[in-house]
Amino acid sequence: MKKSPWNENEIEDMLRELPKLKDNRTKEEVMAGIYAKKKKKRSLQLIAGIASLFLMIVFASAIWMGREYEVSQGEQESNRKLSVPESEQSSDYEGRGAKTKENSSEDAQENQALSSKHAQMQSKDEALDIEPFAHGQEKAFAHAIYEDELKHSSAITLGVPDDQMNIIVPISIKLRAFDESDTLNQLVRQMAAIDEKRYGLADYFPLDVSFNEGNDKNTAHIEFQEDSPLLDDGLFLLSMEETLLYHNIEKLIFTTDGKQGARFSHGGFLTKLDIPQYKHRTYLLYQKNESSPRLLVPSTAQYQDFAEALQAGKRQSEINGISPAIPTDLNWERIKSIGNHVTIHLAEDSAFENSEQVLQALEAILFIAKDFGYETVKFENAPIEKVGNLDLTGDIAVPRAPNQMK
């Protein structure tokens, strides 16, 4: 083996030799810079203040106008009551809508436009097999998708960067069953349809590249245009790795304008990328804010062994929005593995209850196990038999994909 030309002591010496870098500005210039910066900040705050005041006025007047409208509508209806028979007085929403239509043709048009938009949205949701989304009703906790749930359906998982573009969060969507050969088309379709903001993630998809099947079903092919901004995007390859990991694709082949390979500014020139199936990571929680769902997210760090990764699932992170997935009071005494099976013997004093927090922690553990190549997990010495749908009395098969979105 070729001996390295540097040893660590030499590198340490070289580091100490790095030159002193000086700020050539005078003290007064620095102060002037601070002054300008503070002034800029203040004016930005002022603009923000004025903008929010303006918005408040707009909202307040909208509410006021709305009230006036309601009042006038109420008056109109009470006037109508004089001539409308008793049976029609107990009319429902549609009846009232009809009355409004009679009164105002403009309103009628608006209603029509809204209802057609609503219908459009509904048909879009039906096509995607996703329940229509009600704003503000996003579930706080996203379950994993298990293999036995996929008898008559299929799942698509996308690796989406978080709001601050620090980590990749896998998001899974259950669809009507489709053939495995159609996976790439389904992926592209879901990339176009996903509303990342809804989950507190960055608006990342769709991507301006074309996906094609490779020579075999485990290979995908990505074609870039030479000036594609994705080539400068440090998260692109990570997002692809996370996405394709769940769809049995083991290799990505790149071409740029028909030529073999692609030059990534952060990864150099690559003709292909192997997608590792087992990355030995831990799982943590990501939640942008209280109104967005709590999602399981794989760490960027990798760990030597399963026990270390489990322990890391309890650690706090420096990244914004990331918190431990496993509570510190959920403890285990020993971990034993045989082949693809791992047994976790829970400690006597382990805090364990049938709660969403414990369920999500257990799912995190199952995904960590999956990342280490285990297929089944047994929790021994659990004080209760079931947590959510997980039956702790037997072996639990590791889930197919995390963060099912409905």
Closest separation in Å from C-beta 166 to other proteins: 6
- Does 21 bind other proteins (CB under 8 A)? Our answer is yes
- Does 8 bind other proteins (CB under 8 A)? Our answer is yes
**Beta bridge mates, 376:** 341, 397
| Residue among 359, 330, 328 at smallest CA distance from 344 | 330
State which of residues 1, 2, 136, 348 lies at the interface with other proteins (CB under 8 A). 2
Residue with tokens 């005494």: 333
User: By three-state DSSP, how is residue 92 classified?
Assistant: coil
> Which of the ranges 25-33, 45-53, 129-137, 334-342 carries the binding residues for other proteins, by CB under 8 A?
25-33
User: By three-state DSSP, how is residue 244 classified?
Assistant: helix
Tell me how many residues contact other proteins (CB under 8 A).
Answer: 54
> Which of the ranges 67-75, 251-259, 294-302, 343-351 carries the binding residues for other proteins, by CB under 8 A?
294-302
Q: Are strands 376-380 and 153-161 parallel, antiparallel or unpaired?
A: unpaired
Closest separation in Å from C-beta 275 to other proteins: 16
The order of strands in the sheet holding 168-176 is 153-161, 168-176, 404-405
Identify which of residues 173 and 245 has a Cβ nearer to other proteins in the complex.
Answer: 245
Identify which of residues 181 and 265 has a Cβ nearer to other proteins in the complex.
Answer: 265
Q: Give residues with Cβ within 8 angstroms of 50, minimum separation 6.
A: none
Closest separation in Å from C-beta 102 to other proteins: 49
Contact in structure between 259 and 281 (CB atoms under 8 Å): no
> Which of the ranges 16-24, 51-59, 83-91, 290-298 carries the binding residues for other proteins, by CB under 8 A?
16-24
Closest separation in Å from C-beta 201 to other proteins: 13
Q: Are strands 272-274 and 281-286 parallel, antiparallel or unpaired?
A: unpaired
- Does 34 bind other proteins (CB under 8 A)? Our answer is yes
Kind and range of the H or E run holding 106: helix 105-128
Closest separation in Å from C-beta 313 to other proteins: 16
Chain centre distance of CA 85:
54
Counting every residue written for the chain, the total comes to 406
- Does 406 bind other proteins (CB under 8 A)? Our answer is no
Sign (positive/negative) of CA torsion 90, 93, 95, 97?
A: positive
State which of residues 31, 50, 53, 384 lies at the interface with other proteins (CB under 8 A). 31
Q: How far, in Å, CA of 394 to CA of 110, rounded?
A: 57
- Does 289 bind other proteins (CB under 8 A)? Our answer is no
Chain centre distance of CA 222:
23
Identify which of residues 183 and 239 has a Cβ nearer to other proteins in the complex.
Answer: 239
Identify which of residues 80 and 315 has a Cβ nearer to other proteins in the complex.
Answer: 315
- Does 197 bind other proteins (CB under 8 A)? Our answer is no
- Does 227 bind other proteins (CB under 8 A)? Our answer is no
> Which of the ranges 71-79, 141-149, 313-321, 350-358 carries the binding residues for other proteins, by CB under 8 A?
313-321
Q: Give residues with Cβ within 8 angstroms of 367, minimum separation 6.
A: 144, 283, 296, 298, 398, 399, 402
- Does 287 bind other proteins (CB under 8 A)? Our answer is no
State which of residues 144, 167, 169, 262 lies at the interface with other proteins (CB under 8 A). 167
- Does 233 bind other proteins (CB under 8 A)? Our answer is yes
State which of residues 103, 255, 300, 376 lies at the interface with other proteins (CB under 8 A). 300
Q: Give residues with Cβ within 8 angstroms of 332, minimum separation 6.
A: 310, 344, 345, 346, 347, 350
> Which of the ranges 21-29, 73-81, 84-92, 144-152 carries the binding residues for other proteins, by CB under 8 A?
21-29
Q: Alpha carbon of 191 to those of 153, 203, 401: distances in Å?
A: 19, 11, 17
- Does 63 bind other proteins (CB under 8 A)? Our answer is no
> Which of the ranges 193-201, 316-324, 326-334, 368-376 carries the binding residues for other proteins, by CB under 8 A?
316-324
| Residue among 333, 392, 334 at smallest CA distance from 359 | 392
Closest separation in Å from C-beta 25 to other proteins: 7
Contact in structure between 210 and 230 (CB atoms under 8 Å): no
| Residue among 237, 146, 239 at smallest CA distance from 201 | 239
Question: According to CB under 8 A, which residues from 318 to 347 bind other proteins?
Answer: 318-320
State which of residues 97, 214, 261, 267 lies at the interface with other proteins (CB under 8 A). 267
Contact in structure between 84 and 102 (CB atoms under 8 Å): no
Binding-site ranges for other proteins (CB under 8 A)? 2, 4-23, 25, 27-28, 30-35, 37-38, 41, 164-167, 232-235, 238, 264-268, 299-302, 318-320
